[in-house]
Amino acid sequence: MQNRDNLLRVFQTIYQWRKAIRNICLLTLVGSIALSLTLKNYYQAVTIFYPASPQLANPELMFGYTGQVTEYFGSDRDLDRLSEIANSNELVDYMVTTFNLYAHYGIDSTDQKGPYEVRKLFRYLYSAEKNKNDAIELRVEDTDPEMAAKLANAARNRINEVARRLTKESQGNILIAFEDNMSRKRTDLAALGDSIRQMQSRYGIYYPEAQGEQLAERLSEAEAEVVRNRARLEVLEPDRSIPRDTIAYIRANLSAYERQLRQLNTGKVGNGALTVAGYNEGVPQVSLLNDLHFQARKQLSYDLERYNQIKAAYNTNIPAVLIIEEAETPLIKNRPKRSVIVLACVLGAFLFSVLGALVADAYRDIDWKSITRKEAA
């Protein structure tokens, strides 16, 4: 019963103050309408994109040297990386410079706080966040709908450029390392080539296997001729019927083949003539240098192929983002919602005026003048 009486008292108070409440609400209605009409219309442009997988710029996957399946869409880490780029000061400063946002927003660029103010205002009108489908949803508001679309597309393109630049910087560093490594290997290869030529000239060994067979044949041939000519001389020399010219010819052949045999067996090493001693001493060194030269050429060829693959990937324009939706010129404004503003203002005015009426009714019996006089005394 008491609660009902209190509620009736409230309604009674509101009824007594109805004209004041009505007037306050009407004034608020007119004021909020006037205020909302002065607010600028803001249009919002939206572009949506996914991160592209960095594997697309991987030379091994690009040229099919691995059995790994290529992923075209990036992972959560790639999404986080693009989000960091999208919210970086580098992107904000690029947009401010490219579109002269100081003049567009009416901010004095010479003011000490100008850079802070223009960044703050742009970030207020700009957002790049991951949506429920794990894509980046980039939004830009502006009073000019065409400008909003341009800003959104330019911001997305800049994100793509920065992400591609980071990848290309890594590839560029690898290319520089490969170039330096291949330059040193070419120098080493040239030095090995000079060493091989010196050894070949010293020992007379250019084709070890073929020359080894040739040397063995010459030794066998010389030994056989020495034995043959000695046998002929032993048989023919005691016979008086054999002309002395023939015996002299056999002696000359025997002497020539003995000298050849001595030269092949005990000839001086290092004068360029092919001898058994020189062959046995030079073959291991020449073969070792040839093997080192072959391995160096093989490694240099592999590095050159790898370098060309990385360079091809470096020169290929591989996007860092996969665009799902381009930002289009918005046809309707995003804010302000004038009707909502007016209704909220009128409702707030009504509630505060009712609250004021209840407070005034509750303390109407108090003699405020006497209280004031007592406090003054």
**Tens digits of pLDDT across the chain (377 residues):** 455 556 677 777 777 888 888 888 899 889 988 988 888 999 999 999 999 887 777 776 666 666 565 677 778 888 999 999 999 999 999 999 999 999 999 999 888 999 999 999 999 999 999 999 889 999 999 999 999 999 999 999 999 999 999 888 888 888 899 889 899 989 988 898 888 888 877 777 777 777 677 777 777 777 777 777 777 777 767 766 677 777 777 777 767 766 766 666 665 555 556 666 666 777 778 888 888 888 988 998 888 888 888 888 888 888 889 999 999 999 999 888 888 989 999 999 889 988 888 887 776 666 555 656 555 55
DSSP 80-133: HHHHHHHTSHHHHHHHHHHTTHHHHHT--TTSTTHHHHHHHHHHHHEEEEE-TT
* ∠ CA 61-66-67, rounded to 5°: 110
pTM over 0.75: no
230-248 as b/e: b if 16+ CB within 10 A: eebeeeeeeeeeeeeeeee
**What is d(CA 274, CA 180) in angstroms, rounded to the nearest whole number?**
40
